[in-house]
Amino acid sequence: MLEWIKLKEDPRIWRGAGLTGCAALSCLLTAASFNGLQIPLSTALSAALSPTCGIAVLAGSLFTYALTGELSNGPVFLCAIALTSLLRWMFGMQHTPRTAAMLAVSGTGLSAVIFSMARLIGGREMIYWAAAALLAGVFAACIRKTAERFEGGVPVRLHTGDAPAFSVCFVILTAALCSVRVLMLSLGQMFAAFVLLTAAKRYRAYGGMICGTLAAFALLITDTHTAGFAVILPAAGLTAGCLAGKHGGLLFFAVQLFSAAALMLSGWDVFTARVWVNSMIGGMLFLFLPACQIADALILWSDADADLSALTDTRMRFLSDSIAGVRESAERIADMLAKTETACSPAERVRETVCARCSYRETCWEHGDREAADCFRRLSDAGLTEQAEAPFNCLKPDLVTAEFKRAKRQNAEAKALAVRLRNIQTLLFSQMRITEELLSGDGSRFRLTYHRELTRYVSDVLGKYQISLLAAAVSETDSRRLLIELYVPADTDPDTAFAAEILGEALQKPLECCGTETAGSGKRILLQSTGGFSVTTAAAQCAAHDDEPCGDCWDTFSDRNGTVYLAVSDGMGTGKNAALDARIVLSNFRQLVQSGMNCKAAAEMINAIMLTKSGDERFATLDIAQINTDNASVTLYKYGAGPTFVRHGEHITLCQAPTDPIGIQPRTAPYSTVLQLERGDMLFLLTDGMDDSVFPVIRQKILQGGDLQSLVHTVCARAPRKADGTPADDVTVLAAVISGNTIDE
């Protein structure tokens, strides 16, 4: 396996494959005939590629002429290819569509002039070669434009400005393939039918009509006898595009009806009949192959709003950075003020307010009476409820003791207010961080490719089933997963499973619901195409007291990127109060993460909420497993949480570390680790109701495997128990197993 990976990454392999592909394409273009005429397409190909590829193109053309026995008829073409590569190598010009066109025109023109001077080409033929040179220049510019896009890797993201070049290349390729025949079968005609139906299904009426027109043009320039069939292709593509929301078989049937009509109108012409047979075979390939997936793997048409999206992303990031600057400045000022705050001691306060106006001051303080100093120290250290007497022989004992109590009471109130202020500041700064995260996260989403045509298609499909929409948006993530955002009125309750099913069937991609959120008068439903891995979960709980609810809570959900989250929270103590704290932590965590915030920022915000929600000490643990369904990587975050067992193959790993729970410290830092799992691996999140004594038994049960739901109940039953058989503490076991989606297998 490693040798194969190294072989694929070897640049020599890729260079060899590229040269072989250039030679094969040259063979196809050299053999192509357009109503009996030859066009210097190989020259255009040589001008659009590097000099090394030009040599491969020349070799392919030589091979084709030698194989067909027409080597004597193609010296001008071969000379044009050689001159084009030579000029490219000599001048080393920047490889742009314009220079490619200049090279093709120059190479073809020079070859024609050389053979004309040798009297091998007559004067009338020079008109043909002049036109051929211009055509070669146009084709070279289009091929170079297309090659530039493919050099960046597939799928190729195209914009509106790329449409002319790709249209010309599609016509050239289809026409060249039409020259490849096996008996009555034509690869070009089958290819044209396949692309027409795919474009109609993927891009609806507009795509079907455009591809139908281009395919018709390709058939006409190849053989005028196919005109009877070619003229119906635009109408057939338009009709198929209008039926894009239906089953693929209906699109195939509609195109065949147009083909039958063309055959009847042409008087049952044999050429039209052959094209019909080939189009039928191409349509059957469309039915049995994943046509839309193949199209998406090669080409993705981007909307013309790419620059606007980039600008929106930049603006939102700038706004996020501005808020971050304000927050950092406010935090620095708050820290400086906290350091400069010094509480006045009660003894100093009494001496300034009472003793400073006393006539006995010199005796008590200025002559260093130790008894007065010791007594003032005892009064300062005494609590508010303790009884303490003033120094012996003090002239104002009641006033001194009352002032001490007042000073200590004021200091206690000031400390409480300072703590409250710091908690409020922590909450405020956390809210500002949330704003930064949301702006930054939403801004990055604008870099994704939004599909206008698919958005309209999704709206039309849902409209047929009477599902009311406020708005919809279809985009593609960096991992090439389709993301569908549906906004519906908040007072409606659409069936998300049904919506995912009908849209998945219409788009030919299995979809799953990532979550539903309600804000104001609107509700957002997120649907996403499935990744390479799926996650199956199971949970089991047992409460410490039968008459009270379990103080632990658990939850599983997905975010907008298709990432699956497993979360467990254990509230302080047992019973309903502990369950309430755990539920607050989990509900807020889910809402923040599904809004676009990362795990650490969400936990910081929840920590600030727990610190300020009550004057009592209330806290809860938070245990998170973040599972990426694209590559099966798992990130664990633990805030005072219990152990996590991970089964990877036949090995068991225990992840555990001491950290603070949510709601203890103003700043909380989790234990975090990243694991790479595979199909069949499991992970178990346990609360602290399990102690070390049962870990060996848990390891053994996990290694034995079995049904996941039965396994979590077995593990949960191993919790330590009291003498009467009841659990010593609330226990929760949340488990997940990684599996592969059948569609990817």
For every residue of 232-261, DSSP letters joined together read: THHHHHHHHHHTTTS-HHHHHHHHHHHHHH
Per-residue pLDDT band at 305 (split at 50, 70, 90): very low
Q: Are residues 582 and 700 in the same domain?
A: yes
Which of 17-26, 105-114, 147-156, 187-196 has the lowest average pLDDT? Answer: 147-156
Q: How far apart are CA 261 and CA 265, in angstroms?
A: 6
pLDDT at 574 exceeding the cut of 60: yes
The crossing angle, in degrees rounded to 10, of helices 97-117 and 123-151 is 150
Q: Which of 280, 301, 322 is the last residue of a domain?
A: 301
More confident residue, 677 or 423: 677
Q: Are residues 266 and 326 in the same domain?
A: no
Is position 2 within any domain? no
Q: How far apart are CA 650 and CA 681, in angstroms?
A: 9
Which of 14-23, 591-600, 607-616 has the lowest average pLDDT? Answer: 607-616
CA end-to-end span of the chain, whole Å?
18
pLDDT score recorded for residue 715: 83
Is position 167 within any domain? no
Is position 344 within any domain? yes
Which of 90-94, 281-285, 334-338 has the lowest average pLDDT? Answer: 334-338
pLDDT score recorded for residue 313: 58
Q: Could you tell me which of 615, 550, 604 has the C-alpha nearest to residue 582?
A: 550
More confident residue, 342 or 304: 342
Encoded amino acid at 388, one letter = A
The crossing angle, in degrees rounded to 10, of helices 123-151 and 41-48 is 40
Q: Are residues 686 and 541 in the same domain?
A: yes
Per-residue pLDDT band at 325 (split at 50, 70, 90): low
372, 364 contact by CB (below 8 A): yes
**H helix intervals, 118-247:** 123-151, 163-178, 187-222, 227-230, 233-242
pLDDT score recorded for residue 498: 86
Is position 174 within any domain? no
pLDDT score recorded for residue 637: 92
Question: For residue 357, what are the contacts with CB-CB under 8 A and spacing of at least 6?
Answer: none
pLDDT score recorded for residue 636: 92
Q: How far apart are CA 475 and CA 528, in angstroms?
A: 10
Q: How far apart are CA 355 and CA 374, in angstroms?
A: 15
Which of 108-112, 174-178, 205-209, 365-369 has the lowest average pLDDT? Answer: 365-369
pLDDT single digits (tens) 193-250: 898 888 888 787 878 888 888 888 888 888 777 777 888 888 888 888 888 877 888 8
Which of 322-331, 630-639, 674-683 has the lowest average pLDDT? Answer: 322-331
Is position 316 within any domain? yes
R_g of the chain computed on alpha carbons: 38
Which of 187-191, 230-234, 410-414, 589-593 has the lowest average pLDDT? Answer: 410-414
Q: Are residues 477 and 437 in the same domain?
A: no
Q: Could you tell me which of 625, 616, 657, 665 has the C-alpha nearest to residue 640?
A: 657
More confident residue, 423 or 564: 564
Mean pLDDT of 356-364: 63
CATH (domain of 640) = 3.60.40.10
Strand 156-158 versus strand 299-301 pairing type: parallel
Burial class of residue 725 (count of CB atoms within 10 Å of its CB; 0-12, 13-18, 19+): exposed
CATH (domain of 463) = 3.30.70
Q: Are residues 315 and 455 in the same domain?
A: no
Mean pLDDT of 140-148: 85
- Measured between alpha carbons, how far is residue 9 from residues 3, 5, 14, 149 in Å? 10, 6, 8, 21
Q: Which pairs with CB-CB distance under 8 Å and at least 24 residues apart come from 380-388?
A: 380/345, 380/346, 380/347, 380/404, 380/408, 384/408, 384/409, 384/412
Q: Are residues 204 and 218 in the same domain?
A: yes
pLDDT score recorded for residue 626: 92
At 269 the three-state DSSP class reads coil
Is position 175 within any domain? no
pLDDT score recorded for residue 379: 65
pLDDT score recorded for residue 459: 82
Q: Are residues 441 and 511 in the same domain?
A: no
Q: Are residues 538 and 506 in the same domain?
A: no
Q: Are residues 457 and 435 in the same domain?
A: no
Per-residue pLDDT band at 301 (split at 50, 70, 90): low
pLDDT score recorded for residue 391: 63
In this structure, what DSSP letter does residue 742 have? T
Q: How far apart are CA 573 and CA 384, in angstroms?
A: 31
Q: What token pair was written down for 201? A: 């299904």
739, 533 contact by CB (below 8 A): yes
| 659 φ/ψ angles, rounded to the nearest 5 degrees | -145, 165
pLDDT score recorded for residue 745: 33
Q: How far apart are CA 271 and CA 274, in angstroms?
A: 5
Is position 158 within any domain? no
Q: Could you tell me which of 56, 54, 49, 51 has the C-alpha nearest to residue 19?
A: 56
Beginning with the edge strand found earlier in the chain, give each strand of the sheet holding 633-639 in spatial order. 552-558, 564-570, 622-627, 633-639, 671-676
Q: How far apart are CA 713 and CA 728, in angstroms?
A: 17
Q: Are residues 276 and 336 in the same domain?
A: no
Q: Are residues 187 and 111 in the same domain?
A: no
Question: Which structural domain range is residue 466 located in?
Answer: 449-529
Please give the tally of structural domains in the chain.
Answer: 5
DSSP 338-391: HHH--PPPHHHHHHHHTGGG-TTHIIIIITT-HHHHHHHHHHHHS-TTS--PPP
Compute how many other C-beta atoms are within 10 angstroms of the C-beta atom of residue 341: 10
Q: Which of 153, 168, 203 is the last residue of a domain?
A: 153
pLDDT at 583 exceeding the cut of 80: yes
Q: Are residues 657 and 591 in the same domain?
A: yes
Q: Which of 301, 323, 341 is the last residue of a domain?
A: 301
Compute how many other C-beta atoms are within 10 angstroms of the C-beta atom of residue 4: 8
For CA atoms 245, 250, 251, 254, give the dihedral sign.
negative
pLDDT single digits (tens) 539-553: 888 877 777 788 788
Is position 284 within any domain? yes
In this structure, what DSSP letter does residue 179 have? T
592, 654 contact by CB (below 8 A): no
- Measured between alpha carbons, how far is residue 72 from residues 83, 84, 512, 678 in Å? 18, 20, 62, 61
Rounded mean pLDDT of the chain? 76
